[in-house]
């Protein structure tokens, strides 16, 4: 069969157009860069690594885009970013807190480092980008649990302000403050208050027949209001009871609610924020989680809350009742209320660019698990090719938007 020249030109054009459309359809568009803290990866240097992955905006799948960057210490345990996404901070259990600049292509450049007075446990940056809050634990002796605020100037870490020791002397003289173990910290979206979770090992020490235990409450949330010059002052009634062994804490974008996971009782505890940033229990709580919840995140719209359950290798999803803060279980189209991850998810985030993908860092699985969120119902479905392999023992993750993607937020 022969074609005339016009027909041949039309055929060639059609083939070219089809190929172009095919290439466009297959093109990967990055919506976020995902950073994962591991105890070893493909980079060189110390045992701590920060690994960089690109998030495919269409599928939520992630792929590595750079070799691991040394974290500036060993055993990184926490990551945080400023609200403009230009600065990333890592807390290394070896005692260092390291600042990285974030480039537009996702590249990290180490800037400055400070040495904490004890091993960092958790960190958070306020929305104004003016303070970095670090919780440390010496493990034994006096002043074991401490909250320290570091002023930030264009991302650089300044000299620490007066540290705040977490103690229970205001509750009862029977508490042994040298056994308080801090676990997590969060800052309100309006930057007005900071909350730290901790538990008293002397009051809860399962399996230790010879330990001196107290019949008193063991889990607590310490609240601090941020004053002039970054000064911290205890909120009225602080500390607040928080189950048995609180493991993670977060606050919603409307500055109305605080949520805490209880590792021991496997519950989500909700608080309403009152005058002067005091906390009171959400009366319909606590709410059920999976086994040993160890990570918590709220989506940028403030509608849904997700919990990483370390022992059951799952994520539980709840919708937040806007009027009360109560958490209601979200059931997937499959009829299941749980979402499977790789082994031991210990941290969880909702990416900020699109606000529709959820990721967990799986410590024993040496991987990240991904989920696509239904923006209306909050239910989750597995992303393409999940889980994604990482370096050794990932413990924390954060994401920054790439390009000019709109970031979904809730106005307080």
- What percent of the chain is helix, strand and coil (3-state, nearest 5)? 10, 45, 45
Average pLDDT, the chain: 87
| pLDDT, position 330 | 92
In degrees, rounded to 5, the angle at the alpha carbon of residue 161 between the alpha carbons of residues 158 and 167 is: 140
pLDDT band for 140, please (50, 70, 90 cuts).
low
pLDDT in tens, 14-30: 444 444 344 344 567 98
Residues 6+ apart with CB under 8 A from 83: 125, 127, 128, 129
Q: How does strand 219-226 pair with strand 87-92? A: unpaired
pLDDT band for 154, please (50, 70, 90 cuts).
very high
pLDDT band for 362, please (50, 70, 90 cuts).
very high
| pLDDT, position 235 | 97
Least confident window among 79-83, 175-179, 192-196, 319-323: 175-179
Q: What DSSP assignment string belongs to 314-382?
A: EEEEEEE-TTT--EEE---TTS-SEEE-SS-EEEEEE-TTTS-EEEEEETTTTEEEEEEE-TTT--EEE
Residues 6+ apart with CB under 8 A from 237: 223, 278, 279
Mean per-residue pLDDT, 98-124:
96
* 28-401: CATH number: 2.130.10.10
Beta bridge partners of 320: 327
Element (H, E) at 98: strand 96-102
CA 164 from chain centre, in angstroms, equals: 23
Least confident window among 63-77, 103-117, 214-228, 384-398: 214-228
User: Alpha-carbon distance 218 to 258, whole Å?
Assistant: 19
pTM for the model stands at 0.89
The larger pLDDT score, comparing residue 328 to residue 331, is at 328
Residues 6+ apart with CB under 8 A from 38: 48, 49, 50, 51, 68, 76, 366, 390, 391, 392, 393, 394, 395
The structure tokens listed for 314 are 């799952």
User: Alpha-carbon distance 82 to 398, whole Å?
Assistant: 11
The residue assigned the tokens 């993908």 is 357
pLDDT band for 277, please (50, 70, 90 cuts).
very high
The residue assigned the tokens 């600065």 is 87
pLDDT in tens, 205-261: 665 544 444 445 789 999 999 999 999 999 999 999 999 999 999 999 999 999 999
| pLDDT, position 138 | 86
Q: What DSSP assignment string belongs to 123-170?
A: EEE-TTSSEEEEEEE-SSSSS-EEEEEEEEETTEE------EE---TT
Least confident window among 42-46, 113-117, 165-169: 42-46
| pLDDT, position 14 | 46
pLDDT of 341 above 70 = yes
User: Alpha-carbon distance 262 to 268, whole Å?
Assistant: 6
pLDDT band for 13, please (50, 70, 90 cuts).
very low
pLDDT of 47 above 70 = yes
C-beta of residue 308 within 8 angstroms of C-beta of residue 325: no
Q: Is 46 helix (H, G, I), strand (E, B) or coil?
A: coil
C-beta of residue 80 within 8 angstroms of C-beta of residue 37: no
The residue assigned the tokens 């974008």 is 253
Least confident window among 128-142, 149-163, 190-204, 328-342: 328-342
CA 89 from chain centre, in angstroms, equals: 13
Q: Where are the domains of the chain?
A: 28-401
User: Alpha-carbon distance 41 to 386, whole Å?
Assistant: 19
Closest CA to 223 of 249, 252, 202: 249
| pLDDT, position 343 | 98
pLDDT of 107 above 50 = yes
User: Alpha-carbon distance 34 to 214, whole Å?
Assistant: 43
pLDDT of 132 above 80 = yes
Least confident window among 182-196, 212-226, 382-396: 212-226
């Amino acid at each position: 069969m022969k074609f005339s020249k016009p027909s041949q030109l039309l055929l060639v054009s059609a083939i070219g157009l089809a190929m172009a459309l095919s290439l466009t359809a297959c093109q990967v568009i990055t919506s976020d860069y995902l950073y994962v803290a591991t105890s070893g990866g493909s980079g060189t240097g110390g045992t701590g690594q920060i690994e960089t992955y690109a998030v495919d905006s269409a599928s939520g799948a992630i792929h590595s885009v750079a070799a691991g960057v040394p974290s500036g210490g060993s055993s990184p345990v926490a990551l945080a970013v400023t609200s403009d996404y230009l600065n990333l901070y890592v807390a290394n259990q070896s005692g260092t807190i390291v600042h990285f600049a974030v480039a537009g292509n996702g590249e990290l450049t180490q800037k400055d480092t400070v040495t904490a007075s004890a091993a960092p446990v958790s960190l958070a940056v306020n929305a104004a980008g003016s303070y970095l809050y670090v919780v440390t634990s010496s493990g034994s002796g006096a002043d074991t649990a401490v909250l320290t605020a570091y002023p930030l100037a264009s991302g650089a870490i300044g000299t620490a302000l007066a540290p705040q020791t977490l103690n229970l002397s205001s509750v009862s003289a029977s508490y042994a403050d040298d056994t308080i173990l801090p676990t997590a910290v969060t800052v309100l979206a309006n930057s007005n208050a900071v909350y730290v979770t901790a538990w008293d090992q002397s009051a809860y020490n399962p399996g230790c027949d010879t330990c001196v235990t107290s019949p008193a409450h063991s889990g607590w949330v310490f609240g601090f209001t941020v004053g002039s010059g970054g000064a911290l002052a205890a909120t009225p009634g602080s500390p607040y009871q928080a189950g048995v062994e609180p493991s993670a804490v977060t606050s919603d974008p409307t500055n109305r609610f605080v949520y805490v996971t209880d590792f021991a009782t496997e519950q989500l505890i909700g608080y309403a924020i009152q005058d002067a940033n005091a906390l009171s229990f959400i009366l319909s709580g606590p709410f059920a989680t999976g086994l040993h919840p160890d990570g918590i995140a709220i989506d940028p719209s403030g509608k849904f809350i997700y919990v990483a359950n370390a022992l059951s290798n799952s994520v539980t999803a709840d919708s937040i009742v806007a009027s009360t803060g109560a958490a209601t279980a979200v059931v997937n189209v499959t009829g299941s209320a749980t979402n499977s991850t790789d082994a031991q998810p210990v941290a969880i985030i909702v990416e900020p660019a699109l606000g529709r993908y959820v990721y967990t860092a799986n410590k024993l699985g040496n991987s990240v698990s991904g989920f696509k969120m239904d923006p209306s119902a909050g239910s989750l479905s597995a992303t393409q090719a999940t889980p994604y392999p990482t370096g050794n023992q990932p413990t924390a993750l954060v994401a920054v938007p790439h390009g000019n993607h709109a970031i979904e937020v809730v106005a307080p």
